[in-house]
Amino acid sequence: MITVDIEEERKEIIRRYRRLLRRAKPFLKDNDAKLIKKAFNTSLEAHKEMRRKSGEPYIYHPLAVAQICVDEIGLGTTSIVAALLHDVVEDTEIELEEIEADFGPKVAKIIDGLTKISGVFDHGSSQQAENFRKMLLTLSEDVRVILVKLADRLHNMRTLGSMPRHKQLKIISETIYLYAPLAHRLGLYAIKSELEDLWLKYTETEVYNEIASKIAESKSSRSRFIRSFLLPIQDEMNKSGLKYEVKGRPKSIHSIWNKMKKQNIPFEEVYDLFAIRITLDTDYDNEKAACWHVYSIVTDFYKPNPDRLRDWISTPKGNGYESLHTTVMSKTGKWVEVQIRTKRMDEIAEKGYAAHWKYKDGMGSSHESGLEQWIGHVREMLQQNDTSAIEFVDDFRANLFHDEVFVFTPKGDLKILPFGATALDFAFDIHTEVGAKCLGAKVNNKLVPINYELKNGDQVEILTSIKQKPNEDWLHFAVTSKAKSKIKDTLKEAKKIAAIDGKEIVKRKLKQMKIPFDGDIANQLRALFDEKTVTDFYYKVGKGLIDPAEIRRYKELKTVKTPEKTKRTERSYTDDIKKVSPSHDILLIGEDMDRVDYKLAKCCNPIPGDDVFGFVTVNEGIKVHRTTCPNAPELLSNHGNRIVKSKWMSQQQTAFLASLRIIGTDRVGLIRDVTDIISRELKVNMRSITIDTETGIFDGTIVLYINSTKHLDQLIKKLEKVNGVMKVTRFDETSEND
């Protein structure tokens, strides 16, 4: 039992509250301070009996979220008030109506968007997905909902240490799946990077620590390098009378890790560990010229790589990011990325959306804001509320991370579409009718099919025909959620018509069989034909995919009870599986850590010792995935209610599948040496081996059965000692989605 010094705590709460006020002060108007005080007192009173998992007073959390809103996103009073009250409606007695009466409709609306939906969800739906959709619904009216939510999420991630492991897993997965991409889309780079770093910290702790300490170790040599690199540049900038600041910033741990993984190289070989940033202090009218002036100075001293010039000043990114990037060769033979931007651009890059709006007033420029366009898209997507929440989140997410492609209409208007967008997407972007009737396009005056992938600078003219109509294949040709949802709508419409026909046929058939038609019978027929929904069943009948004569089978089977598909809860899933459990395995599953039957997911092949979780599948019982499985974020964040806790109890003589990649210089006898170790020395069974020996390089993949991570580590060490072998790594076969 920890004793708490109540008096000391009270002082600390006041200290934190004062710090918040102090930082917000420069932006406060008229009654703002009073309003914030009122919100603080309401929150303090409402949460007074509550403590966080860490044991701290709960009020620290809303205070910290408000502080993030001010310091890191640059938000004002409404958001501060909303942040202070964000957990009040969900966690305490206070109702939304009271908030509205005390703080007005704007604050109430934001808090409503932040309050989770409670209640029962249909099978196949997900509470997280529903909550996310609800939050986005409010976004289209007030983007501050998302910004406060991101601040909330960031603080929860920063304080994740005191959470139990299964909660951690759920939170980090949602974060990497939705919130980090969302922060990216809103241009909040600092928050996005921190979320990703924290995700890595709790997923691959060792890797995270190793990279973090290597960054710290190399700090002084890096500073030395940057100083000498900048010397001639600064000299020249001073002579030109430019006002500027320079900074050398290491890349985020997550992005370094990504590079190491993608290129399969150690930390030491990642060449762009850091970027140099030159931030200019200049008038708005002079910005572009000044940035290019600095570019010219930099490239006078160092040779640029022409493939790596990025001009996001002439064409800002969709999320508002503006900057000029170049990569140049330093005197030590290392490539160095230099980012050139102004103070205004820098603030937008760091604080994203909020800063964007701050600067937008009074510029009165032709600045077409990509963000505004994006929020417009979200609004449109939300209006098609026919899709299931999960489908919606997937579509939405698909649109978050994409880079953009810039194309032009025949009249020369610029359209920004996600990277990979096709002529069909372009058509739907112009108008739903144009999309639905799209036959093909003329790109730069050449005829192309509807699935033509657009390239930067393309000028696109859409060709239509009144006879054209969307079909299933179109879903593969479109990448934007707008086009996809419009195509789905049309297909659904067509399906509905076929389903109506089908229903009539079924009714007629039943009448002939003298069976009265009702919903129960429809559902039993659905089960008999193994269709997901009754509509699917009607549709297939209507389309002639199910022969109406087959319905007779119903009569024969009527005496046999058809399996009823009912709504299931998490409980009943595990219960079902427990019943069939042969209980001889060593993986413990569920809250009670029971032995139940399970299968190992093929997408990540877990082995004893791996950090794992169980996933309740619809047809195949519990599947066990590694927490680092590429499918984990999607499963954990969209289907949280189907996750069951799993843990290895001990390591026994059971074999598991793992894949190894071996790279080395080829020599006669190498394969024999490798396979010898595997089969003879360690008594391991190989399932398959594939080897590529192009141009003297040995590149082999071995799939084998081993007993545990320890066993695998031993094997890797042995293999690495074989003459000619350079590297042995374990990898996941990600081709299969399990």
What is the nearest approach in angstroms of Mn ion to the Cβ of residue 137? 19
Within residues 124-153, the interface with Mn ion by CB under 5 A covers 152
Instruction: Choose the binding region for Mn ion from 51-59, 85-93, 498-506, 710-718 (rule: CB under 5 A).
Output: 85-93
Which residue in the shown chain puts its C-beta closest to Mn ion? Answer: 152
Between 87 and 536, whose beta carbon lies closer to Mn ion? 87
Instruction: Choose the binding region for Mn ion from 86-94, 369-377, 399-407, 720-728 (rule: CB under 5 A).
Output: 86-94
What is the nearest approach in angstroms of Mn ion to the Cβ of residue 89? 11
Residue 666, φ and ψ in degrees, nearest 5: -75, 140
Binding mask 399-418 for Mn ion (x = CB under 5 A): --------------------
Residue 604, φ and ψ in degrees, nearest 5: -135, 0
Pair 84, 92: CB distance under 8 Å: no
List the Cα angle 108/134/392 in 5-degree steps: 160
Give the separation between CA 358 and CA 253, rounded to whole angstroms.
30
Structure letter (DSSP) for residue 57: B
* Placement of tokens 């003297």 in the chain: 696
Between 87 and 287, whose beta carbon lies closer to Mn ion? 87
Pair 693, 699: CB distance under 8 Å: yes
Binding mask 87-126 for Mn ion (x = CB under 5 A): x---------------------------------------
Give the separation between CA 36 and CA 27, rounded to whole angstroms.
13
Structure letter (DSSP) for residue 422: B
What is the nearest approach in angstroms of Mn ion to the Cβ of residue 86? 6
The Cα diameter of the chain in Å comes to: 98
What is the nearest approach in angstroms of Mn ion to the Cβ of residue 159? 10
Between 85 and 712, whose beta carbon lies closer to Mn ion? 85
How many Å from the N-terminal Cα to the C-terminal Cα in the chain? 45
Beta bridge mates, 698 = 664
* Placement of tokens 């098609």 in the chain: 384
Give the separation between CA 44 and CA 37, rounded to whole angstroms.
10
Applying CB under 5 A, the site for Mn ion has a residue count of 2
Within residues 148-177, the interface with Mn ion by CB under 5 A covers 152
Between 39 and 345, whose beta carbon lies closer to Mn ion? 39
Provide the token pair at 645: 């806790």
Between 168 and 459, whose beta carbon lies closer to Mn ion? 168
Instruction: Choose the binding region for Mn ion from 80-88, 253-261, 341-349, 481-489 (rule: CB under 5 A).
Output: 80-88
Between 90 and 141, whose beta carbon lies closer to Mn ion? 90
Of the residues 30, 49, 91, 501, which is catalytic? 91
Binding mask 698-727 for Mn ion (x = CB under 5 A): ------------------------------
What is the nearest approach in angstroms of Mn ion to the Cβ of residue 84? 11
* Placement of tokens 């027929």 in the chain: 525
Between 88 and 345, whose beta carbon lies closer to Mn ion? 88
Pair 211, 253: CB distance under 8 Å: yes
CA atoms within 13 A on the CB side of 209: 5
Q: What is the DSSP string of 546-576?
A: S-GGGGGHHHHHTTSPPPP-----HHHHHHH
Between 160 and 345, whose beta carbon lies closer to Mn ion? 160
What is the nearest approach in angstroms of Mn ion to the Cβ of residue 152? 4
User: What are the CA-CA distances from residue 510 to residues 500, 506, 528, 536, 551 (Å)?
Assistant: 16, 6, 15, 18, 8
The answer to whether residue 91 is catalytic is: yes
Q: What is the DSSP string of 134-182?
A: HHHHHHTT-THHHHHHHHHHHHHHHTGGGS-HHHHHHHHHHIIIIIHHH
What is the nearest approach in angstroms of Mn ion to the Cβ of residue 83? 9
Between 399 and 637, whose beta carbon lies closer to Mn ion? 637
What is the nearest approach in angstroms of Mn ion to the Cβ of residue 235? 50
Give the separation between CA 514 and CA 303, rounded to whole angstroms.
86
Pick the closest to residue 202 from 179, 173, 182, 181 (CA basis). 173
429 part of the interface to Mn ion, by CB under 5 A: no
The 10 Å Cβ neighbour count of residue 51 is: 13
Pair 330, 302: CB distance under 8 Å: yes
What is the nearest approach in angstroms of Mn ion to the Cβ of residue 132? 15
Provide the token pair at 628: 């680092």
Between 68 and 577, whose beta carbon lies closer to Mn ion? 68
Give the separation between CA 14 and CA 1, rounded to whole angstroms.
25
The answer to whether residue 90 is catalytic is: yes
Q: Return the SS3 of 623.
A: strand
Of the residues 8, 32, 56, 90, which is catalytic? 90
What is the nearest approach in angstroms of Mn ion to the Cβ of residue 736? 37
What is the nearest approach in angstroms of Mn ion to the Cβ of residue 2? 23
How would you write 211-265 as a 3-class SS string?
HHHHHHHCHHHHHHHHHHHHHHHHHHHHHCCCCEEEEEEECCHHHHHHHHHHHCC
**Helix and strand element counts for the chain (H, E):** 31, 21
Between 57 and 614, whose beta carbon lies closer to Mn ion? 57
Give the residues lining the site for Mn ion (CB under 5 A): 87, 152
Which residues are part of the catalytic machinery? Answer: 90-91
